[in-house]
Amino acid sequence: MDDNPESEIVRQFRELAGAPQGTNDFHMSTCGCPLRVKYSPGSVSSLTLSAPYPSRMTAPAHGPLAAYRHPGEVFVAVRPMKIKLRRETDEDRGARSRGVVREVQTGDPLFDDAVYVDSRSDPQTVLRALASPELRGGVRALLAEGIEHVILDDKAGEISALLLHFTRAPHSPDRASRVLGAFAAVVLNVPSVSTSSEQRPADVERALLIFGAVLCLLLLFIGVPVYLLAAGQRCDFENNPGANVLFSLDGCFTPFSLGLAAGLLVGPLLAAAVARRFHGRSDSLERSSAAYAVTLVLSVQLAVWLFAALLWLR
């Protein structure tokens, strides 16, 4: 057995699939479930298992699950559902208790205590997708094996499991077999879905965050040259020996210093007020953190330009 957990688990997957040494992308089948294994080596290595999400009401590969996907049942949902399942942290629990996030609870205490459910789909859709005890057990087993997250119906219409931290779980000679078995339990127990003709409502919050982040980048990469151009001879230290850096009101970097000080003084208060408006979703903790960061950076940048206008346009 290899002492390197990463190369060892990849070797195990290749061996189970009958794939040649050095193959990083291959297909295999387990428990009647066809799936793809993709290993991406590098500074941030990853291993991904994926399988198509069933889109029709079909019987599962073996007996005990036959009653679960009853041909008469029709499950219609806006797709992709993008149900992301990861470890629940103390930070998640704290955010839920404060009302920052709203997470679907399945009523299965073992699952609800260990797994955080993040999805833009409505609660009824999520609960229907997670209805199978075998599926929930498979997700818990995957997370126990070190899997970063499981996504049901991702943007490619697949079920996927991502392994990033190869040493997160104890390694053993049959680790790949256990991961495959748990992944198969998930794939074979998801309810088949018919795609709804409805469209998911526009995500205004996400659009605002993207706009704010883009504005930050523009003010950084375009704003710096424009700042130096606006400063003119104040920053021309080569041709203007008398150019002043900080020690005058119209110095080259005086607006920057004053803007930084003012932004860091007022910015956190404004950022906290903006961040509090992001709540009530399963991913609101991440969104509120992003909103805080974007608002703080914008506060500093805009304060710099405000002081530049006040001092240089007098």
Share of the chain above pLDDT 70, in %: 88
Residues 38-81: tens digit of each pLDDT: 999 988 999 999 999 986 544 444 444 433 344 445 688 999 99
Residues 209-236: tens digit of each pLDDT: 999 999 999 999 998 888 888 877 777 6
Place 250 in a pLDDT band, splitting at 50, 70 and 90.
low
CB-neighbour burial class of residue 230 (10 A; exposed 0-12, middle 13-18, buried 19+):
middle
What's the pTM? Answer: 0.84
Greater pLDDT, 303 or 67:
303
**Which tokens in the block code for residue 143?**
């997370």
3-state helix, strand, coil in the chain (%, to 5): 45, 15, 40
Place 200 in a pLDDT band, splitting at 50, 70 and 90.
confident
Q: What span, in angstroms and rounded, lies between the C-alpha atoms of 84 and 133?
A: 17
Give strand ranges (E) for 41-178.
46-52, 76-77, 83-87, 115-118, 149-152, 158-163
Residues 158-179: tens digit of each pLDDT: 999 999 999 888 888 999 999 9
